[in-house]
Amino acid sequence: MSDTKEVYRTAEVMLSESGANLLETSLFSDVTVNCGDRTWKLHKAITCSRCPYFNKAFNGHFKEAATGDLTIKEQIPEYVDQAIRYLYTGKAPEDTLESWPIDLFKVADFLQIKSLERQSIETIKTRLREVMGFLADIHNKPKEAQMEKAFPDFIYLARTAYGADSASYYRLRDISKRFFAQIKQHIINDD
For residue 81, give the CATH number of its domain: 3.30.710.10
Regions of the chain with pLDDT less than 50: 1-2, 142
Residues in the chain: 191
Query: Which pLDDT score is estimated for 114?
Result: 96
What's the domain range around 169? 92-191
pLDDT at 136: 65
Q: How far is CA 66 from CA 26, 59, 63, 111, 168, in A?
A: 20, 9, 5, 20, 30
Give yes or no: residues 63 and 123 share one domain. Answer: no
pLDDT given at position 168: 85
Same domain as 190, residue 180:
yes
- pTM over 0.75, yes/no: yes
pLDDT at 180: 82
